[in-house]
Amino acid sequence: MILFDRVSFCYNEKETSFILKGVSFSLQKGIINGLIGKNGCGKSTLARLIVGLLKPTEGEIQFKEENEDPNAYYFSGMIFQNPDNQIVGTTIGDDIAFGLENLNLPTENIEQLVVKAASLFGFEKMLDMPVSKLSGGQKQMLCIASVLALEPSWIVFDEPTSHLDPWARIEFWNIINYLVDNSNIGIIVISQLPEDIIHFGHISVLNEGCIIFNDSYDVFASLNQPPEGIDFPENIKLQRLLNN
Amino acid sequence: MDERLNKSKLRLLNPITKGILCIIYILMISFFCKNWLVAFNLNLFLILICFYAKEETIELLVSLKKIWFLLLIVGLFQGFVGSSFNIFSCLNAIFKVMGIFLTASLYTRISTQNELLYFWEICFRPLKLFGFSSNELALTMVIAIRFLPVFMNEIERIRIAQIARGAKMKKNMIASAINFMPLLIPVLTQAIMRSEELADAMEVRGYVPNRPRGRYKTYKLNKYDYYSFFIMGIILSLIIYKYIHN
Amino acid sequence: MKLRLGNLVIKYNDNPLLGPIDASFESGQLNLIVGRSGCGKSTLLKLIAGFHSEFTGAISLDEEYFEPEGNVALAFQNPESLFFNSTVFEEILFSLTSLDKKDNICELTNHWMEKWGLSPEIYSKKYPFKLSGGEKRRVALAACTILQPKIILLDEPLAGLDRVGQSDLSKIIKNLCDEHIVIVVTHEPELILQDNSRILYINGKETAEYDSNTFLYNAVINPGFYPIPQWYIESVKPYAEMYELPPVNSESVANFLRSIKNG
């Protein structure tokens, strides 16, 4: 579980324009957590706070697990919008190994973990393949494999479907659903596309630095009006039109 | 992908062996060939080794056609000593250039990008004395190599797009600074945005500058490395002997 | 106006990439190209614009030899990455400065801004990078098309926009079809699909042409053909054999279902 306790953030100490204004809410593992809101509502800032790229100006973010180990180190990974801008290695193996090398692990461990992560996506026989030969969808899978190799407890996806074709989008959601069902990794997906909402189990809506909705998909679908700044997905709209 | 299919023995060598042997071979061809026969023999030996190791020798030789003009020019220039034409010094020059080219292209053929970087990183180690970290330098080079094709594509894409918009830049677009702006500004903005995202992505994956890092690929010396050094030792002594007693 | 591709085979580094394509793109209808990424769609656009010369076959405009230069506008994906001027007005005006006659280019710019839903009073003096995503996209597309050539090629014009931005933009694009041959490469054909759309569907190296109803019918019947949204398939599949399918949005589908119910 991630717990946001009155978290505020602004880039400049002296400035009064807070990007996040005392946000308090929590996210659970075992479902897809969707984080939505219009441009400039603070989604990306929130994501960067979760993975530790930014530090909260006020308040704190706590990570809690069911079987709590006080010494556990909680690592959160993040997948950015454009796969091309986050692949560091020149070959598949190198890129998956990059994060593991940063942890200063011995070579044998790195090799094992690289093969393990690569095999999740069928990359295990392509470790020496240059990344420039991969398609857009494969590049994104490589990014996910590279983060999974680090065994994170949470992964944040920042608008993951925006660079994919419709076929690759289906594959992407299959992977996410697989991760939710078969691993203990918490999933947060940031999106502004209404059609992504149908994949979410839990929805948090941000507007002007505040959480204005934070509940399950079913509650979201039963709202009278969509929360400010977003639109209902077409399937919910159709339901309503037919019920009227 | 041909790297994996091709299991020639030369490719099994340690990157350090490959690097050092190729440097020695190039130095030998450049400085110890007083007559054309020596240069010819060094070329012949290189080709025989390739055959023996089941390297793609034919492709290697075919690549020579890229420099046939250079060979011709060098041969002609070196051939004219005073007013007469000396066929032997002409041949010597041609075989020297050929040997250097063959060795260098053989080196890039038998080495993967990783191996090249590994060797460079080791070469950079002495720079530590001056405060440079060889690890960071090598990583910077990896990123440069990784993003080179991305940037080349992007420059081409922006160039085409701006021409389609009516910008006056054909292939010789550096004609004037003003004509250059529609290309320069977008390319720079894109590069900055990319590098910001890349820096974030690296930080999220635990990269901290100047912290010790593990290594994914390590290379050990195997029996072929010892054979190679042994053979190279013999050739080197022969060449030096010939050089001194000639 | 009609642009015809006859037996066109696109090559890349001597290898065939796509084709043979036999297709025609017309004004008065919206011409869409769909297919997996990397299948050669963008190369096809580049080819029509005259920036890719490795091909065999013929391209003709109204049965005459087709000369790309001066006849084609081309906007790549993320066209806002081309901005290099300090105001929206200058950005859009830029293409006109390359013309020989320079009279009334300011009026033309204002007129074209209106056409793309950018009122000159509000937007002229604004800094392009400070606009919202949808506004940026419209500025960029206005800037790419202001020479108003016969053919307008758009690569993924809707990608990365929010729903409001997408629907605003698709309306403008549809309006352009009356006077231009508009060819759009898109991963979201359902967003701008309308009755008079033609779809060039690329699958591997082969291509096929569909009208909007046949395309939707195939997508509904065969899930591997094209992934359109699941809710649409579920709602209209029972009627796909008998009726002409509605556009992919909730209102049209609701009206469609109601009219069936009411006979």
Residue in chain C closest to B160 (alpha carbons) equals C51
In this structure, the answer to whether residues B125 and B50 fall within a common structural domain is yes
Does this model's pTM top 0.90? My answer is: no
Mark yes or no for CB contact A241/C132 under 8 Å: no
User: For C183-209, how does the pLDDT look when each residue is reduced to its tens digit (9 = 90+)?
Assistant: 999 888 777 777 778 899 998 888 899
CA contacts within 13 A on the Cβ side of B140? 9
Does the beta carbon of B27 lie under 8 angstroms from any beta carbon of chain A?
no
- The residue of C47, C80, C81 whose CB has the most chain B CBs within 10 angstroms, and thus the best one to mutate to test that interface, is C81
Does the residue A188 lie in any domain?
Answer: yes
In this structure, the answer to whether residues B30 and B72 fall within a common structural domain is yes
Least reliable range by pLDDT among B197-201, B211-215, C72-76: B211-215
CB count, 10 Å around CB of A54?
Answer: 17
Does the residue A7 lie in any domain?
Answer: no
Q: What is the pLDDT of residue A112?
A: 92
Q: What is the pLDDT of residue B1?
A: 30
d(CA C46, CA B220): 49
CATH number of the domain enclosing A201: 3.40.50.300
Task: Give the containing element (helix H, strand E) for B200.
Answer: helix B177-204
Does the residue A4 lie in any domain?
Answer: no
Parent domain of A113: 83-143
- Of the candidates A82, A102, A130, the beta carbon closest to that of B197 is on A82
In this structure, the answer to whether residues A45 and A69 fall within a common structural domain is yes
Sheet holding A20-27, edge to edge: A20-27, A2-9, A58-63
Tell me the pairing of strands C151-155 and C181-185: parallel
In this structure, the answer to whether residues A169 and A113 fall within a common structural domain is no
In this structure, the answer to whether residues B28 and B91 fall within a common structural domain is yes
Residue in chain A closest to C258 (alpha carbons) equals A242
Does the residue B215 lie in any domain?
Answer: no
Contacts of B161 in chain C (CB under 8 A): 74-76, 79, 82, 144
In this structure, the answer to whether residues A32 and A135 fall within a common structural domain is no
CB under 8 Å to C258, separation ≥6 — which residues? A242
In this structure, the answer to whether residues B53 and B169 fall within a common structural domain is no
Q: Which of A97, A119, A143 is the last residue of a domain?
A: A143
- Of the candidates C46, C82, C97, the beta carbon closest to that of B186 is on C82
In this structure, the answer to whether residues A65 and A168 fall within a common structural domain is yes
In this structure, the answer to whether residues A118 and A163 fall within a common structural domain is no
In this structure, the answer to whether residues A120 and A160 fall within a common structural domain is no
* ipTM score for this prediction: 0.88
Mark yes or no for CB contact A136/C37 under 8 Å: yes
Provide Rg for chain C, Cα atoms.
20
In this structure, the answer to whether residues A65 and A180 fall within a common structural domain is yes
User: For A131-177, how does the pLDDT look when each residue is reduced to its tens digit (9 = 90+)?
Assistant: 888 888 899 999 999 999 998 889 999 988 888 888 888 989 999 99
Contact (CB, 8 A) for C48 and C72: yes
Does the residue A231 lie in any domain?
Answer: yes
Residue in chain C closest to B179 (alpha carbons) equals C98
C61 to chain A nearest CA, in Å? 31
Mark yes or no for CB contact C51/B166 under 8 Å: no
In this structure, the answer to whether residues B16 and B91 fall within a common structural domain is yes
C105 or A155: which carries more pLDDT confidence?
Answer: A155
Mark yes or no for CB contact C163/A193 under 8 Å: yes
In this structure, the answer to whether residues A106 and A158 fall within a common structural domain is no
Mark yes or no for CB contact A39/C235 under 8 Å: no
Mark yes or no for CB contact B218/A107 under 8 Å: yes
In this structure, the answer to whether residues A206 and A239 fall within a common structural domain is yes
Q: Is A73 helix (H, G, I), strand (E, B) or coil?
A: coil
In this structure, the answer to whether residues B113 and B16 fall within a common structural domain is yes
Mark yes or no for CB contact B215/A101 under 8 Å: yes
Q: What is the pLDDT of residue B3?
A: 39
In this structure, the answer to whether residues A159 and A70 fall within a common structural domain is yes
In this structure, the answer to whether residues B50 and B125 fall within a common structural domain is yes
Does the residue A105 lie in any domain?
Answer: yes
d(CA A95, CA C130): 35
The verdict on whether C121 is a catalytic residue reads: no
**3-state SS track over chain C:** CEEEEEEEEEEECCEEEEEEEEEEEECCCEEEEECCCCCCHHHHHHHHCCCCCCEEEEEEECCEECCCCCCEEEECCCHHHHCCCCCHHHHHHHHHHHCCCCCCHHHHHHHHHHHCCCCHHHHCCCCHHHCCHHHHHHHHHHHHHCCCCCEEEEECCCCCCCHHHHHHHHHHHHHHCCCCEEEEECCCHHHHCCCCEEEEEEECCEEEEEEHHHHHHHHHHCCCCCCCCHHHHHHHHHHCCCCCCCCCCHHHHHHHHHHHHCC
Does the beta carbon of B4 lie under 8 angstroms from any beta carbon of chain A?
yes
Contacts of B165 in chain C (CB under 8 A): 73, 82, 94-95, 143-144, 147
* Residues facing residue B134 across a β-bridge: none
d(CA C177, CA B101): 58
d(CA C250, CA C240): 17
d(CA B150, CA B133): 26
In this structure, the answer to whether residues B69 and B23 fall within a common structural domain is yes
Residue in chain C closest to B189 (alpha carbons) equals C81
Does the residue B5 lie in any domain?
Answer: no
Q: Which of A94, A125, A143 is the last residue of a domain?
A: A143
Q: Which of C156, C190, C206, C241 is catalytic?
A: C156
d(CA A16, CA B129): 48
Structural tokens at position C229: 């949204």
d(CA B74, CA B71): 5
Q: How far is CA C4 from CA C21, C26, C59, C208, in A?
A: 10, 9, 6, 14
- Of the candidates C132, C187, C249, the beta carbon closest to that of A165 is on C187
Q: What is the pLDDT of residue A69?
A: 62
Does the residue A244 lie in any domain?
Answer: yes
Residue in chain C closest to B180 (alpha carbons) equals C84
Looking at the structure of chain B, the number of domains it has is 2
Parent domain of B153: 134-209
Structural tokens at position B167: 């910008």
Task: Tell me the mean pLDDT in the region A28-50.
Answer: 88
d(CA C98, CA C88): 17
User: For A179-231, how does the pLDDT look when each residue is reduced to its tens digit (9 = 90+)?
Assistant: 999 988 999 999 877 778 989 999 999 988 889 999 999 999 999 888 887 88
Tell me the pairing of strands A210-216 and C197-203: unpaired
In this structure, the answer to whether residues B184 and B196 fall within a common structural domain is yes
